[in-house]
Amino acid sequence: MNKTYRAMQVGRSGTLEIVARDAPDPMAGEVLIEVEACGVCGVDLADIEKAAAARLSRVPGHEVVGRIAALGPYVPPLWAVGQRVGVGRLGGHCNECDQCRQGRFQLCRNQQVVGVDIDGGYAEMMLARCAGLVSIPDELDAEDAAPILCAGVATFNALKKCGAEAGDLVVVLGIGGLGHMAVQYARRMGFRVVAVGRGADIADDALALGAHVYIDNRQEDAAARIKDMGGAQAMITMIDHMETISALISALSPKGRLVVLNPGKSPLSVPLGMLIGGERSVMGSITGSPYESEKALSFSVLADVRPRIERMPLEQAGEACQRMASGDAKFRVVLTMTAQK
């Protein structure tokens, strides 16, 4: 194992800078991961801004795949040196709070947020709580597995919670880093998939990913079109445009459910009479526990779901973040650690 490693940390300017660090020793309940790949998520830019304001030298990145390089004390025998593991947004539950005692590990009150509270995977090495580790299937390359630990599990879980059954019409709103995974999962779960996006340029991609129908929300009334198809039993939204979401809620069938993944920056306007009259509902969905991440990975192998990715070396992490923020990436960027090894 190398005694030093490269990391992209947040500098005073709010941009990323490459540094060399000494390899740390894992503490009790921790492992040291030799990182092979780390996905770039849209929220990483916000993490970098927060770090620049209050937590300089933080390392972003929460779609991490690698191998265990060292074990700290009291790590369960489930984990071993050399084992392939991943870490997502949630860095490990405490097993003590009321939510953990009810088995709701993704809602742990003492959860570490990777890339915010602790250093993430824009680095060749990373410390992680063993409670946050995810086992990675041999069938998945590190670069393919990485985005599934955030974009994948988030959309996979949202679809499991959406209340729709095989054959029902499900709308995926927003065909980007998360949406392109949601379309694939929805198709393979047996739903009738309607993808709603902005612009005709994404139509071919949405259909190739598995959508039965693509609707360009700029050119036609998406709500009216969905109503003509009988209404949606569920809608999964990844976008941060509350007016668009509000306009589409009317296309939900009775008992239909809107599942929200993007926290957004403004409140969502929902006609209460429509919710009551048709017993429709709105719910949020967080990413997922390590066990749920393993389910998403296993389903991805079983159903041949893969993220569409662009690979960039670690030292270009700043450019990778900007590429994701601009919408130019198709559909996800993954950092690789092999360039200078």
Q: Where are the domains of the chain?
A: 4-136+308-336, 152-284
- 340: pLDDT strictly greater than 60: no
Say whether pLDDT at 314 is over 80.
yes
Stated pTM of the model: 0.94
pLDDT in tens, 219-246: 999 999 999 999 999 999 999 889 999 9
pLDDT average, residue stretch 82-89: 98
152-284 matches 4-136+308-336 in CATH topology: no
For 34, how many CA atoms within 13 A lie in the half-sphere containing its CB? 15
% of the chain exceeding 70 in pLDDT: 99
* Confidence check: pLDDT of 13 > 80: no
The confidence score (pLDDT) of residue 56 equals 81
Q: Is pLDDT of 53 > 80?
A: no
Fold for 152-284, please state it.
Rossmann fold (3.40.50)
Q: How confident is the model at residue 133 (pLDDT cuts 50, 70, 90)?
A: very high
> Does residue 158 surpass a pLDDT of 50?
yes
Mean pLDDT for the stretch of residues 260-288: 90
Q: State the average pLDDT over residues 138-166.
A: 97
pLDDT value for 326: 86
102 phi, psi to nearest 5 deg: -95, 5
Least confident of 78-87, 180-189, 326-335: 326-335
CA distances from 320 to 122, 205, 226 (A): 11, 21, 35
Residue 153 in contact with residue 293, Cβ under 8 Å? yes
Q: Which residue, among 65, 5, 13, 4, has the nearest Cα to 35 in the 3D structure?
A: 65
Mean pLDDT of the chain: 94
Query: Is the CATH number of domain 4-136+308-336 3.90.180.10?
Result: yes
Taking 90 as the threshold, does the pLDDT of residue 1 lie above it? Answer: no
What confidence category does residue 332 fall into, taking pLDDT thresholds of 50, 70 and 90? very high
- Taking each helix axis from N to C end, the angle separating 317-326 and 44-54, rounded to the nearest 10 degrees, works out to 120
The SS3 of residue 138 is coil
How much is the pLDDT for 341? 38
